[in-house]
Amino acid sequence: MISKQEIIEQLKTIVKPYVQNQESFDALTEETDFINDLKINSANLVDVILDIEEKYNIIIDNESMEKMINVKSAMEIVAIKLAEK
Amino acid sequence: MIGNDIVDLALAKKESNWQRNRFLDKIFTENEQLLIANAINPEIMVWNLWTRKEAAYKIYNRETGIRGYIPLQLDCWYESENLGTVSCNGFTYHTQTQISNESVYTIAVAKKQYFSHIKKIELETKITKINGVPFVKDIANLITRPVSITHHGHFWEGIMLVD
């Protein structure tokens, strides 16, 4: 099974191209907010979601997508979807 | 309550590939995707509908306190290139959209009559946040007025609701 630390590292790689606040990215924790902290453009949040789907070969349904506003919920959704596989 | 959103079309071209597989499915309803597919300029339609959703979401978020990534719940009714409504969980917001060669800009309001009570604000305007919601304080009257600001690429727009 994939560890929490691995997921967080992989998520960092995924969000990196869309981040507009480098300082906040360098200090990224589970509490980091994609829009308020990393300043990811809300239209690019779709790309983050599609990249996560492709990376883990999972489908993020609409209900899960609604919660994708910070690192913590992204980690939880990835973990749940991976467990369902 | 009011909301606004602007897209710098040149920057959007660089930042977003809306033709990416499943991109549209994630953020636009079937009806909205039909509007995009049938548009003379699909790219402008993407950003037209997107700015409507974003502007409406700002009101929804401020009025309900609910935060989420909910583009599919923000359902656009497209009256014309410049007018329409966005519905979300029982709320309906009215939108006015301006399109130029460089940008797409939408203002959303909770009540239609607010459109005639909107004033542009300047970049230097001092904005106060109350529970995360931006306001301008009118010192003479000791009144707080809701504002909404948006920026993308070369563009910055700020509006305020006045009496």
DSSP string, A41-55: -TTHHHHHHHHHHHH
Domain ranges (residues) in chain A = 4-84
Q: Which of A7-16, B96-105, B135-144 has the lowest mean pLDDT?
A: B135-144
**B132 — contact with chain A (CB < 8 Å)?**
no
- pLDDT class for B133, splitting at 50, 70, 90? confident
Write out chain A residues lying below 8 Å of B72, CB-based.
62, 65
User: Residue B133: which domain range?
Assistant: 2-161
- Is A65 close to B23, i.e. CB distance below 8 A? no
CA distances from B61 to A6, A65, B10, B14, B142 (A): 33, 16, 28, 28, 25
* Cβ contact, residue pair A65, B26, below 8 Å: yes
A35: nearest CA partner in chain B: B69
pLDDT at residue B123, as a whole number:
86
Residue B25 identity (one-letter amino acid):
D
Band of residue B137 on the pLDDT scale cut at 50, 70, 90: confident
Q: Which residue of A has its CA nearest to B5?
A: A42
- φ, ψ dihedrals at B80, nearest 5°: -160, 180
Distance between B65 CA and the closest CA of chain A, angstroms: 14
pLDDT, mean of residues B74-87: 98
CB-CB under 8 Å, A62 with B27 = no
Q: What is the dihedral of CA B69, B101, B134, B60, to 10 degrees?
A: -40
Contact B16 A43 (CB under 8 A): yes
* Single pTM value for the model: 0.95
Q: Could you tell me if B7 and B104 are in contact, meaning their C-beta atoms sit under 8 angstroms apart?
A: yes
Strands of B118-121's sheet in order across: B118-121, B155-161, B143-152, B133-138, B128-130
**CATH architecture under which domain A4-84 falls:** Orthogonal Bundle (1.10)
Q: Which of B102, B103, B109 shows the shortest CA–CA distance to B84? A: B109
Q: Is the pLDDT at B101 greater than 90, yes or no?
A: yes
- What is the predicted pLDDT for the residue at A41? 94
Q: Any idea what the CATH number is for the domain that residue B105 is in?
A: 3.90.470.20
- Mean pLDDT for all residues in chain B: 95
The H or E element containing residue B77 is strand B75-78
- Chain A residues touching B69 at Cβ < 8 A: 42, 45, 65-69
- Chain B CB contacts of A58 below 8 Å: none
| pLDDT for the residue B141 | 65
Q: How many domains does chain B have?
A: 1
Each residue's pLDDT tens digit, A23-78: 999 999 999 999 999 999 999 999 999 999 999 999 999 999 999 999 999 999 99
